[in-house]
Structures are given as C-alpha cells and as structure tokens.
Amino acid sequence: MGICGSSYSRSGRLPTAAAIHDKGLALSEIDPGIAPPHARRTLVIPLLIALVGLVLVVFGGSLLVSGAVSLARAFGVSETLIGLTIVAVGTSMPELVTSVIAALKRQGDIAFGNVVGSNIYNILGIGGATAIIAPSHVPSEIVRFDGPLMVLVSALLVCFAATGLRISRWEGLALIAGYVSYIWVLWP
C-alpha cells in the first residue's frame, strides 16, 4: 500500500513520472498518426528499403523464370522438369537458410514450422493466387507422379516427426537421399 500511495503522490508532482502528463506521447500511443513528425520520418527509410526489396523480388522472379526457360531449352528438357528442380531449389533457399539457422540455435519448432508452413502456403496461397490470376493446365506428369509423391513424402515426414516428436539425423539423411533419388529419376 505504501508503494502505491508513494507512486500516486509523486506522479502528481513529477511531470515526467507519468506519460499522461505528456499528451503528445499519450496520444501517439493511441494513434500513431498523431505522433510527432520526427517519429513519422523514421518510417521513411524502412518503407523505402521494403519497396526496393519488393522491386528486386519481382525483377528477380522474372529473371528466374526467363533463365529457367532458357535452361530447359538448352538442355532439351521440359519446363516442368526445370520448375520441379532448379526453380524449386532456387526459390527454397530462404527457407533452407532460415531452417538451418533455427536448427543451429536449437529452435527446432521454428525450423520445422518453417518447412511445413512454407509448403502449406506454397500449395494453398501461391497455388490459389496463381490459379485466380492465370488459370492454366497442370502437366500430366505432375498429376501422375510428382503430386502423389508429394503426398507420400508429406506422410513420411509426419511419420518421422511422430517418432519421439523430432526428426533424427538418420531420418534427415533419408529425406536428403529421397530428394537426390527424386532428381536422379527425373533428370534425363
């Protein structure tokens, strides 16, 4: 009680003791639009960086697709094969880096959540958005082979995760060996 009483009595005498005495500070906590001009200026640099990053991603995505098509033609393989291999690995690098760093920091929840979450988002979010923007056919080889394999691999990952609620080293090696085998089967 003494601490509460002391704090209450000092808050009335010391204007810096309570934020309510600074109406600008109090209002900026409620509505950031009311924040002083210097607070709004600090957002300019992060917004510019985000905008530049977005432009680079869009431009980089265009370059990736153009390069992948050129590779497919140069190697005489289907664009589907290039998409399933080179483009898939290239676009998955951020997930790989994020998951490896999380695993090294012993944050397995983040590492595993990133793997599962990015795959769910790729199928539902990106697949859905792509179909809404530009509906297209699904190559028959994906329907016959790659799609069912994706379901089996997902089930295998769930089985591995269910054994002690972790992915062991040998299970990780089995997953890598499975991907190498998949590439070996696909590549002419």
pTM metric for this prediction? 0.63
DSSP string, 48-65: HHHHHHHHHHHHHHHHHH
Q: What is the pLDDT of residues 104-162, one digit of tens each?
A: 998 888 888 888 998 999 999 999 999 999 998 999 999 999 999 999 999 999 999 89
Residue whose tokens read 């009680």 = 1
More confident residue, 140 or 40: 140
Q: What is the pLDDT of residues 95-105, one digit of tens each?
A: 888 888 888 99
Residue 29 has pLDDT above 60, yes or no: no
DSSP string, 64-112: HHHHHHHHHHHHT--HHHHIIIIIHHHHHHHHHHHHHHHHHTT-HHHHH
